[in-house]
Amino acid sequence: MPLAKQPPAKKEIDATEAALKLMADLLFKPLDGNDMQSRHGRFSTAKIAESFIKPSKTLSSFERLEIYNRQYWYRMLDCIWEDFPGVLAILGKDKFVQLAEAYLVAFPSNTFALQDLGENLPAFIKDNPHLSAPFSRMAYETALVEWADIKALTAAAYDPPLPEFAPKILSGQMQLKLQPHLSLFSLHYAIDDFLVEYKKDLPLHLVSNAAIEKTRTSKKRTTPNPKRNYLMVHRIGSDVYFTPASRSEYYTLTPLLAGTTLEEACAYAYSRLRGCERQALAESLNQSFTEWTRKKLLYCPEL
Amino acid sequence: MPAEQKSAGTFFMDRYFFWNDLVPPNRFNGMTDLGIGIGLRIPHYEHILTKKPKLDWFEIISENYMIDGGRPLEVLDAVLADYPVVQHGVSLYFGSTDPYDRTHLKKLKALVNRTKTPFVTDHLCWGSTDGRFTHDLLPIPYTSKAVKNTAERIKYVRDFIEKPICVENISSYLEFNISELTEWQFLSEVAEQADCGILLDVNNVFVAASNHGFDPFEYLDKIPHERIGQIHIAGHTDMETYKLDTHDHPVCDSVWSLYERTIELIGPTNTLLEWDDNIPSFDEVHKEALKANIYIRRITDAFSKATAS
């Protein structure tokens, strides 16, 4: 049977589509406290609601629309709240909600997957430092690691290369890639210790279809300690790990993430390292390779 | 003559032929007679994997497993080895007007191939416009144009994933001034034009009827029974001025009455209890779902007595 045609894109907006677009515009407007905003541009929201929504025996058109407006914001804010508990701990509830609202206005969800909602938050924090000042850098680094944690949970994992392929890989005959679940960071704060400690007692993250206002409780405000460090976020089996990396590991693996060959990656690392570190890199490459393979951080696309 | 006014014998004889001919199984539910299932939820993973409890079937939220790897897929594969699984989605938005993203549909199809689901269900709603997603199940204006658009989108998805589709009636909290049809007329028209099945959520019928002031039994009587492939039951919350579909309570008596009436009309059909928030133990959820057997037995016993006499 031939595939049904994709319904054609309409040139003119009919009344049905216009109603959907108007409703969406109103839903995406942030709440005023716990209520729907009373104005939409220079118009009264209640008047606009009356123009396309029937009142019920118990609720006005505005109140009926407000149910959906609240549901939208409760659901989106809960999602960001639960995905970035570390950023919340740093900023505190009020500042975090301000940041999340501004983020959701700038980056409403553009995919079916709710788990992708926070994808642009790290970059948003970096580009809008006033929203997290004076903790912008630590909030940014924490958001990076928290997003990497979420990504690692459901990213693909491929079988690592067998040891017999090592010579071919080292000689550049076979391409080597880092697993899609792995992220690497150069950080100024001990985000790993901070998140592990902070998330110890947090409740299990559950997403429900019906979003109602929940009492959002957050633990006491706290911040990560300053510490220059390199961190790998990756998965082994179904568990996500924060693994400290050495400088040489960081500078070798980062170019591999960008798609270079192992030889190019080593050359890059060599150029970035100091004298004694260069010596160590040369001596430990085989050992590092074995360790990366043991942790299943690498794979060969050809295999 | 309306069914209610017939003698019990005549009524059940009518039902007998209907049940035998049409439900279950039918072409909209992949010819399945699954029994009573519950939703696969994270707090129950450990119990299910270690105890392997006796259960007819699981329903999964498709979007939770449209991913590339990790524990959800490991759990799903383990569950698939022991139980039938049916996919239930929350993002196809049949009532939206944006063109479908084929990457989305490819991911859905990959999951369909993994689960071997006999049919796929999703909601009669919209939820995205101009590339922005609300992640909510929003009511559609019940217009003839919306019927056409919705039916076309259902057909497109069905042809893409190559599985029968059942559309679920939603709980809703508003109605549009431009609606030309009642909710059951809209559902029936869409199902007819798309030639698809219906996932009848009797809790949603109850919630919508309460919020909009229609008779839920009239709704059940008027929809095309031969298209019903599955039934949802669930709990909701009374917010005083309206009812909210929260899936965080046991099923209330009024909803069970609607369930019983549905079984009376169409015969025992694939039934699933949804419990998504404040989730109790697996056993408690399963026990609540199995209450459906009380109503199924009541109807089938009455049917047996009527046919015997």
Per-residue pLDDT, averaged over A178-195, amounts to 96
Q: In angstroms, rounded to a whole number, what is the distance separating the alpha carbons of residues A206 and A187? A: 30
- The class (CATH top level) of B3-276 is alpha beta
* Chain B positions in Cβ-Cβ contact with residue A111 (cut-off 8 Å): 104, 133
Q: What angle do CA B247, B134, B243 make, to 5 degrees?
A: 35
CB A213 within 8 A of CB A34: yes
At B223, phi and psi to the nearest 5?
A: -80, 160
- Amino acid A22 reads L
Q: In angstroms, rounded to a whole number, what is the distance separating the alpha carbons of residues A108 and A101? A: 10
DSSP notation for chain B? --GGGS-HHHHHHHHHHHHHHTSSS-GGGTT----EEEE--GGGHHHHHHH----SEEEEEGGGG-SSSSHHHHHHHHHHHHS-EEEE-S---TT--SPPPHHHHHHHHHHHHHHT-S-EEEES-EEEETTEEEEEEEPPP--HHHHHHHHHHHHHHHHHHTS-EEEEPPP-S-EETT--S-HHHHHHHHHHHHT-EEEEEHHHHHHHHHHHT--HHHHHHHS-GGGEEEEEEE--EE-SSSEE----SPPPHHHHHHHHHHHHHH-S--EEEE--SS---HHHHHHHHHTHHHHHHHHHHHHHHHHH-
Q: What is the distance in angstroms between the Cα of B279 and the nearest Cα belonging to chain A?
A: 10
Instruction: Enter the tokens of residue A299.
Output: 């794979």
CB B190 within 8 A of CB B143: no
Of B1-5, B12-16, B265-269, B294-298, the one with minimum mean pLDDT is B1-5
* Chain A positions in Cβ-Cβ contact with residue B134 (cut-off 8 Å): 24, 27-28, 72, 109
Whether B274 shows a pLDDT value over 90: the answer reads: yes
CB A270 within 8 A of CB A278: yes
**Tokens 């890989």 found at:** A169
Predicted confidence at residue A291, as pLDDT, reads 85
What residues does each domain of chain A span? 15-78, 84-207+220-299
Predicted confidence at residue A205, as pLDDT, reads 43
CB B38 within 8 A of CB B83: no
Q: What is the distance in angstroms between the Cα of A281 and the nearest Cα belonging to chain B?
A: 32
pLDDT digits (tens, 9 = 90+) for A222-281: 999 999 999 999 999 999 999 999 998 999 999 988 888 888 888 898 888 887 778 777
Residue B52 φ/ψ region, left for φ over 0, alpha for ψ in the -120 to 50 degree band, beta for the rest: left
- Burial (CB < 10 A; 0-12, 13-18, 19+), residue B181, is middle
CB B66 within 8 A of CB B111: yes
Q: In angstroms, rounded to a whole number, what is the distance separating the alpha carbons of residues B65 and A154? A: 9
Choose the closest CB to B69 out of A1, A27, A156.
A156
Q: What angle do CA A211, A215, A216 make, to 5 degrees?
A: 95
Question: HSE on the CB side for B66, CA within 13 Å?
Answer: 24
* Chain B positions in Cβ-Cβ contact with residue A64 (cut-off 8 Å): 173-174, 242
* Chain B positions in Cβ-Cβ contact with residue A214 (cut-off 8 Å): none
Most confidently modeled range among A35-39, A85-89, A164-168: A85-89
Q: In angstroms, rounded to a whole number, what is the distance separating the alpha carbons of residues B39 and A9? A: 36
Strand partners, B37: B57, B272
Q: Is A167 helix (H, G, I), strand (E, B) or coil?
A: helix
Q: What is the distance in angstroms between the Cα of B62 and the nearest Cα belonging to chain A?
A: 10
- % pLDDT > 90, chain B: 88
Q: In angstroms, rounded to a whole number, what is the distance separating the alpha carbons of residues A131 and A95? A: 8
Give A170 or A199, the one with higher predicted confidence: A199
- % pLDDT > 70, chain B: 92
- Identify the CA nearest to B273 among candidates B260, B296, B291, B300: B291
How many helices, marked H, and strands, marked E, lie in chain A?
12, 8
Choose the closest CB to A235 out of B43, B70, B245.
B70
For an interface test with A, the pick among B67, B135, B140, B170 (most A C-beta atoms closer than 10 Å) comes out as: B135
Per-residue pLDDT, averaged over A147-154, amounts to 96
Per-residue pLDDT, averaged over A211-228, amounts to 74
What residues does each domain of chain B span? 3-276
**Tokens 């299990």 found at:** A204
Predicted confidence at residue B148, as pLDDT, reads 96
- Identify the CA nearest to B37 among candidates B224, B282, B203, B237: B282
Distance of alpha carbon B30 from its chain centroid, rounded?
Answer: 14
Q: In angstroms, rounded to a whole number, what is the distance separating the alpha carbons of residues B33 and B271? A: 10
Predicted confidence at residue A83, as pLDDT, reads 96
Per-residue pLDDT, averaged over B237-248, amounts to 96
Instruction: Enter the tokens of residue A112.
Output: 């079916």
- Residues written for chain A: 303
Give A82 or A211, the one with higher predicted confidence: A82
B97 lies within 8 A of chain A by CB:
yes
Predicted confidence at residue A9, as pLDDT, reads 57
Pairing of strands B271-274, B36-39: parallel
Choose the closest CB to B69 out of A20, A61, A157.
A157
Predicted confidence at residue B16, as pLDDT, reads 53
**Residue B124 CB partners (closer than 8 Å, separation 6+):** B94, B95, B140, B150, B167, B168, B169, B170, B186, B187, B190
Whether A220 shows a pLDDT value over 90: the answer reads: no
Of A6-20, A144-158, B46-60, the one with minimum mean pLDDT is A6-20
Pairing of strands B228-234, B271-274: parallel
Q: Count residue pairs from A and B with Cβ separation < 8 A.
A: 176
pLDDT digits (tens, 9 = 90+) for B157-190: 999 999 999 999 999 999 999 999 999 999 999 9
**Residue A271 CB partners (closer than 8 Å, separation 6+):** none
Residue B116 φ/ψ region, left for φ over 0, alpha for ψ in the -120 to 50 degree band, beta for the rest: left
Strand partners, B133: B128
Q: Look over chain B and give the mean of its residue pLDDT values, rounded to a whole number.
A: 93
- Burial (CB < 10 A; 0-12, 13-18, 19+), residue A165, is middle
Choose the closest CB to A112 out of B91, B277, B279.
B91
Q: What is the distance in angstroms between the Cα of A116 and the nearest Cα belonging to chain B?
A: 11
Per-residue pLDDT, averaged over B266-280, amounts to 95
Q: In angstroms, rounded to a whole number, what is the distance separating the alpha carbons of residues A97 and A95? A: 6
Predicted confidence at residue A92, as pLDDT, reads 96
Predicted confidence at residue A135, as pLDDT, reads 97
pLDDT-derived band at B12 (thresholds 50, 70, 90) equals low
The torsion of the CA quartet B218, B220, B223, B226, rounded to 10 degrees, works out to -140
- Identify the CA nearest to A65 among candidates A34, A23, A33, A108: A23
Asked whether this complex has an ipTM greater than 0.90, the answer is yes
CA distances from B232 to A11, B59, B88, B256 (A): 38, 11, 11, 11
pLDDT digits (tens, 9 = 90+) for A58-117: 999 999 999 999 999 999 999 999 999 999 999 999 999 999 999 999 999 999 999 999
